[in-house]
Structure 1
């Protein structure tokens, strides 16, 4: 995931957070909180992987690597 993609993810999270504060339907608010939590978890997971790669001296991984699509078998 590039820095631009990280920033886009952060902006998307901010938009959902705004919507969750503005929405009046309890079900919609609950679903938005779930979505926000999942997006934040994904962002934290990527940053943790990226940080561990930096500490080990490995090049930054791509988004496909994070989700396991291009890991060697």
Structure 2
């Protein structure tokens, strides 16, 4: 099993925190997890992305997520058609 997710929101909405909490919870359950936020030195309210991969294969090496299984948007204005 391998689940790849992307989380999109605005700075201050907890996107990065949510991804890190889910990664830690997955690891505590014996799964492999990789969390990687994508943001610059923007201010609060700027768009933020975070990527989370959860796998039951501890030998999986982290790879960039190109086609996520799940996309979570905390601000619907950031959805691109």
Q: Structure 1-normalised TM-score?
A: 0.34
Higher strand share: 2
Structure with the higher helix share, 1 or 2: 1
> Whose radius of gyration is greater, 1 or 2?
1
For CA contacts below 8 A with separation 6 or more, give which structure has more relative contact order: 2
